[in-house]
Chain A
Amino acid sequence: KNQVEQSPQSLIILEGKNCTLQCNYTVSPFSNLRWYKQDTGRGPVSLTIMTFSENTKSNGRYTATLDADTKQSSLHITASQLSDSASYICVVSPGGSGDKLTFGTGTRLAVRP
């Protein structure tokens, strides 16, 4: 069964600190992996998308890494800001149409001043 597991479930950090969120998946075959940021009460917004041939992709202070061999991805947030407080969702696709997207349940990040 295709699964995406994220850890930790929740995380509290101080403003200005760095953090790393983890995503492990068992989806096969694999086409692409993306990270979404979802603010409370809003729809998810895409941060990065990576195919199996990409190891790292950055979007400002967000850097995602992918190891397709171990089926692991991480999202590193540098110099956190209060606005980074949100849920971060890992989504994996084996390619094709939308129904094959497998979503993780997310990591809820709280950045404190």
Chain B
Amino acid sequence: KAGVTQTPRYLIKTRGQQVTLSCSPISGHRSVSWYQQTPGQGLQFLFEYFSETQRNKGNFPGRFSGRQFSNSRSEMNVSTLELGDSALYLCASSRDRDTYNEQFFGPGTRLTVL
């Protein structure tokens, strides 16, 4: 069974640009969550999608957005990039929304903003 895949693995952007990251969950998983990971803050929840609907959103500005498609694949978009957006962006999928179900993480997308 294929794991969670994220593309691209690495990105370098400049301030003011926008970026779109993609996540393909494990087959059969309908819940997709996104996290930002930085050395000082650890993992911070961005948002969760289930059945093409955003179910929860973390405490991030509106520049961060996302969506989920009918095949459960998800994308997140960051507009007007800032230096502080440099981070590892992780996507995790689970069968449904029950947090007892294991979340499977992808390898992440390393975003560097110059």
Contact = CB atoms under 8 A, between A and B. Distances in A.
Interface in A23-71: 31-32, 34, 36, 41-46, 49, 51
Interface string A74-97: 000000000000000100010111
Nearest to B100: A32
Nearest to B99: A93
Contacts of B58: 99
Interface residues of B, number: 28
B103 A46 contact: yes
B103 A31 contact: no
Given A93-B99, A99-B57, A99-B58, A105 B92 contact: no
B43 A103 contact: yes
B105 interface: yes
Interface in B57-114: 57-58, 90, 92, 94, 97, 99-100, 102-108, 110
B21 interface: no
Nearest to A100: B99
A89 B43 contact: yes
B33 interface: yes
Contact of B107 (A41, A51, A105): A41
20 contacts: A31-B100, A32-B100, A34-B102, A36-B105, A43-B90, A43-B107, A44-B105, A46-B104, A89-B42, A89-B43, A97-B55, A97-B56, A98-B55, A98-B94, A99-B48, A100-B99, A103-B42, A103-B43, A103-B44, A106-B42
Interface of A: 31-32, 34, 36, 41-46, 49, 51, 89, 93, 95-101, 103-106
Q: Which 9 A-B pairs have the closest CB atoms?
A: A43-B105, A99-B56, A105-B42, A93-B99, A103-B43, A98-B48, A98-B33, A44-B105, A97-B97
